[in-house]
A and B are shown apart, each in its own frame.
Chain A
Amino acid sequence: EEQLVESGGGLLQPGGSLRLSCAASGFSISNHWMHWVRQVPGKGLMWVARINTDLSTTNYADSVKGRFTISRDNARNTLYLQMDSLGAEDTAVYYCARERHLLQHDYMDVWGKGTTVIVSS
């Protein structure tokens, strides 16, 4: 079964840092672009970042640019999100997702269950 499992979430104070991990099983992430998406409890989905297969291309939402860094270790089959200078507005459930080419374009088709980040003093 193709699966993604996030970890690393927690409670931390404003200004702090955290690294999230996303371990894949049942497939190799080396063949896929990978994404992070977040969701404030009770609110909608917000795309955060993506990375291509060979780490040469990364993109970020404006709200996290310069503070978050997406990376991957294809040998470990794991995706990461380094989050620095965290603020209350970053409180959310963070999901990792696999992108896969389907017919005409690429879509996020496998998602993890998410890990919760709470930023509060």
Chain B
Amino acid sequence: EIVLTQSPATLSLSPGERATLSCRASQSVSRYLAWYQQKPGQAPRLLIYDASTRATGIPARFSGSGSGTDFTLTISSLEHDDFAVYYCLQRYIWPPGTFGPGTKVDLK
């Protein structure tokens, strides 16, 4: 089973700042990695797939990079709507599907 590790667990930032979130896989997942955003009481929303492709309707301030075992989600300039929990998900080997434990981006 591929294990995903996300860091940091919590990121405390202010609006306008840059957020850099990391996702590391226990073995290579090629570029088959997605990022999801989840706000309290809501379902996850697909942000990024294939490591770097923005899903439909996702603002350009969200970008993804990486391949193999190391991936990054960057939010170039945080807006109030971006404070949420972010999960990575690998699609290289399924089953089982594995999510990372999440990174919470909260207001400093």
Contacts and interface: CB of A to CB of B under 8 A. Distances in A.
B30 to A, nearest CB: 9
A103 B52 CA distance: 11
**Size bracket of the A interface:** 20 to 34
A59 B94 contact: yes
Interface stretch (A10-18, A39-47, A84-92): A39-47
A59 B99 CA distance: 16
Contacts, number: 68
Give the secondary structure class of A's interface.
strand
Helix, strand, loop or mixed for chain B's interface? loop
Given A106-B91, A107-B34, A35 B46 contact: no
B91 A105 contact: yes
Contact of B50 (A44, A60, A104): A104
A62 B96 CA distance: 8
Interface string A84-114: 0000000000010000001111111101111
A103 B95 CA distance: 20
A104 B53 CA distance: 10
